[in-house]
Each structure stands twice: as C-alpha cells, then as structure tokens.
Amino acid sequence: MTEDELNGRLRIAVVIGSVRRTRLADPLAAWLKRELTAIDWIDLDMIDLASVSLPMHEMQPGGAAASPIAGWLADADGFVFLTPEYNHSFPASVKNVIDWHFTEWAYKPVAFVGYGGSGGVRAIEQLRTVFPELRATTVRESVLLPMAWEHLDADGSFVPPPGTVRALHATMNELRTWARALRSLRVSDLAARA
Ligand SMILES: Cc1cc2nc3c(=O)[nH]c(=O)nc-3n(C[C@H](O)[C@H](O)[C@H](O)COP(=O)(O)O)c2cc1C
C-alpha cells in the first residue's frame, strides 16, 4: 500500500440504530449526514436499520447468514453508530446488526453518536464491551446529544447545541487515525497470509 493510499479517503459507514417508525433518529441522522458529507476525507455510506431485513431467527454464529448489508459493512474502513439509549442500554436492533455479522467488523474502529436523556452514554459504554469480541476497537471520543428533542427547530431539524460539532470533529479525527492504522494492518495481514 502506497503512502497516498494510506493517507487517502476512507469509507465510513454510519449505522442508524433506531428502527422506530417515528423516531428522533431521523433529524439526527440528517444532521450527521450533512456534517460528515462536508468532511473531505470521508466517503460516506448511511445504513438505516429500519430499511434492512435481518431476521433474528436466521442469524448464524460467525456471520454465516446472507446479509443484505454485508457488502457495505465489509467495504467500510470504520463505523459510526448513531444509537439511542433504551432502558439504560443500546436498542435490540443495534445488537442484532452486530450479531448478524462477524468478519465485517474485524480490525476496524467504531465511533459513537449517542442520544437520550443523558446523551446515550450508558448505551455507548455498553457497546464498548461488545466490539472487542468482533476484533473491532472503539474510539475514545464520542458525541453525546442529551435531550436532543429539545434542539429541534420549527421544521423538526436538529440544531446542535454549542460544542457538538467540535465533539463530532474530534471523534471523526480519532476515527480517522484508527481507520488508517487498521487499514494498513488489514492489508499487511492479508499479504502475509497470501
Ligand atoms: C423503550 C425505550 C426505553 C427508553 N429508555 C431510555 C433510557 O433508559 N434512558 C434514556 O436516556 N432514554 C430512554 N428512552 C428515551 C429515548 O432515548 C428517546 O425516546 C429517543 O428519542 C429514542 O430514540 P428514537 O426516537 O430515535 O428511537 C427510552 C425510549 C424507549 C422507546
């Protein structure tokens, strides 16, 4: 891998975790998409779990089942999970997409944008205990959106409170550092096995 390839653009997949019909995830995902599209090193995929069929009864250990999003996840250099907090944890839909896949997460970084009364911090911290089993690493920085429902304008668009965009950029910069390092690791590991 050349220096240019190492320092070039990265494919980042945002996973929208809530699948509720009326959900705060919609304005938050729209805001996140706007912000991330403006970052010059990112090629963005938005994966909306509400539009993806991953039946629990078809799940296989090791991610063997045919998943409609396996290709997108496999192509990603890093992930951003947009997750609400439900009952002091992350939603079942988020655990389901994690469990449905295996190699797609391996040796890649995961960042979090959380929301809820306390910014989804308990959901995020619990997700940090899950990803090492998939050989994924979680990045230190995160974006917490406490009481985000109070930051919607008359059109229902999310208007981030002060500091939010700065936190997002800090999180994405950390994700980039890990994504570059781990992409290099994945390439050299594959070359060593070839
Ligand atoms: C089943 C359920 C449990 C919830 N539990 C919590 C909770 O423990 N802590 C919290 O901060 N918010 C909790 N909430 C509030 C959600 O964070 C809030 O409704 C958020 O908007 C949900 O995201 P969504 O609309 O995108 O699904 C809960 C919401 C639901 C639906």
pLDDT at residue 30 tops 90:
yes
What mean pLDDT comes out for the span 157-183? 98
User: Over the chain, what is the mean pLDDT?
Assistant: 95
Q: Whose CA is nearest to atom 14 of ligand 1?
A: 86
Q: What is the mean pLDDT of the segment spanning 83-88?
A: 98
Confidence of residue 173 (pLDDT cuts 50, 70, 90): very high
Percent of the chain scoring above 70 in pLDDT: 95
Range of the domain at 16: 3-193
From the CA of 115, give the closest atom in ligand 1: 17
CATH of the domain at 163: 3.40.50.360
Domains in the chain: how many in total? 1
The yes-or-no verdict on residue 6 having pLDDT over 70 is no
3-state secondary structure of 12: strand
Cα angle at 160 between 144 and 111, to 5 degrees?
Answer: 35
Residue pLDDT, tens place only, 88-102: 999 999 999 999 999
- Residue whose pair of structure tokens reads 């909306």 in the numeric block: 48
Closest protein CA for atom 31 of ligand 1: 86
CB of residue 86 inside a 6 A radius of ligand 1:
yes
Structural tokens at position 46: 């938005």
Which whole number is the average pLDDT over 78-89? 98
pLDDT single digits (tens) 55-79 = 999 999 998 889 999 999 999 999 9
Task: Identify which of 14, 86, 125, 147 to mutate to test ligand 1's pocket (most ligand atoms within 8 A of the CB).
Answer: 86
Residue 70's pLDDT is 97
pLDDT(178) > 60 = yes
Residues 6+ away with beta carbon under 8 Å from 177? none
Q: What is the mean pLDDT of residues 125-138?
A: 98
Cα–Cα dist 19/184, whole Å: 34
Residue nearest to atom 12 of ligand 1 (CA): 116
User: Quick one: 83 exposed, middle or buried, by C-beta within 10 A (0-12, 13-18, 19+)?
Assistant: buried
Q: What is the pLDDT of residue 5?
A: 60
132 lines ligand 1 (CB under 6 A): no
